[in-house]
A = this chain, B = another copy of it.
Amino acid sequence: MINVAILGFGVVGSGVAEVLQSNAKVIEKTLSTQLAVKRILDLRDFPDSPFGHLITHDFNDILNDPTITVVAEMMGGSHPAYDFTKACLQAGKSVVTSNKEVVARFGAELLELAAQNGARYLFEASVGGGIPIIRPMVNDLASNKILSVSGILNGTTNYILTQMLEHGAAYADALAEAQQKGYAERNPAADVEGLDAARKIVILAALAFGPLLSPDSIHCEGITQITAEDAAFAADNGYAVKLIGYTELLGGKVLAMVTPRLVPISNPLAGVCDVFNGILVDANMLGECMFYGKGAGKLPTASAVVADMMDIATHLGTAVRAPKFSVAADDDYADFGAYRCRTMLAFEDKKEIYEKAERVFGELPMLSHGRAVLVSAEMSEAELDERISQMGVTPLSRIRLL
């Protein structure tokens, strides 16, 4: 029997207990032993829960229990989650987590600490919820150079954008509906402004390329500026609108960004709708492959956490492959201005706009839902900025193509 502890008995934490209980037979058959929850840390009591008797309010009850070998950090937020993780790893306990905030900020240090202490730090559930992506990148794609990763990494925003695209909903209405259905928080900022996706793309970028960028230091745009007209243009012209986390090597440095994108319907990400996530990896030998599924939710996410626990249980005391992240130096960040793509620009429907746009871009905008819209040739961000400044008009919308 292997004893595990859970830090935080919220949605995912209680889901972990539930998966361990519901699928105990499957788990025992695979491991030839049981995973038993010995302690659960929470500030609250849960007198009505079947796990209520396992609750402790004192982290030391877990840290100092030598029979606990695996700890699931399910607290969320940076502190004390980071501090507790560090203490566990230093004590030689392995830690599994779904906490993308901690992985994105402290992953390099925590992976190093795990390696030094003969423990492991696994975080499959931190990106894509229950979708296998971290372990496949570490193991299955190991024979490839990763060229780029493009992901729909946030279900809340994907639900909102799907509503806007398929039903012509306005952003505010789609957000309100997402909140009503429980897909969006009352304060949706971390989702709709892209921070959640930014944390996930820096984790994927570190897996692909090594340096762990700060999610606060990458180019990050949310979906709050997307209009019904943008969605209508996309629908009319063979695109979906998606919030895409993207990473590639650019000039030998790491580019990571979160922006809304027009995704051609021939791209498999275009078909990833509602609250689903999809992560498309382009690798030098394999080409493109995609991982698709539920990027959030209690049981899907918990099932990935438990798979990490089982990985640790299978390999207790043996050498395994672990990713290595480095703390990104200033010099690891690629120049965003050098990133090249095509971009949709929308302007007011005025005669002089058409003239200016044709002069500067060599292309006449089309009239689309009351706006003058053009899709630029591929050029760098810096060059596009320069051309827009030549036009002397601020676009109503500026959305990159994927």
Q: A residues near B, CB below 8 A?
A: 19, 22-23, 26-27, 30, 124, 130-132, 135-136, 139-145, 268, 271-272, 283-294, 297, 299-300, 302-304, 306-307, 309-311, 314-315, 318-321
Contact = CB atoms under 8 A, between A and B. Distances in A.
Given A27-B143, A142-B307, A315-B320, 18 more contacts: A19-B143, A19-B285, A22-B284, A23-B144, A124-B140, A130-B289, A132-B136, A132-B139, A132-B140, A132-B289, A143-B309, A144-B303, A283-B303, A285-B299, A286-B293, A314-B321, A315-B318, A318-B318
17 contacts: A26-B144, A27-B143, A130-B287, A132-B132, A132-B289, A139-B307, A141-B307, A143-B304, A143-B307, A271-B271, A285-B299, A287-B297, A289-B291, A290-B291, A290-B292, A292-B292, A314-B320
Contacts of A297: 287
Contacts of A286: 130-131, 293-294, 299-300, 303-304
Nearest to A270: B271
A318 B321 CA distance: 12
Contacts of A291: 289-292
Nearest to A283: B303
A139 B289 contact: no
A271 B278 CA distance: 13
A287 B304 contact: no
Nearest to A314: B321
A141 B299 CA distance: 13
Contacts of A136: 132, 135-136, 140
A74 to B, nearest CB: 15
Given A271-B271, A283-B303, A292-B289, A310 B143 contact: yes
Given A136-B136, A286-B299, A26 B293 contact: no
Nearest to A133: B140
Contacts of A288: 293-294
B145 A285 contact: no
Nearest to A273: B266
A293 B289 contact: yes
A307 B145 CA distance: 12
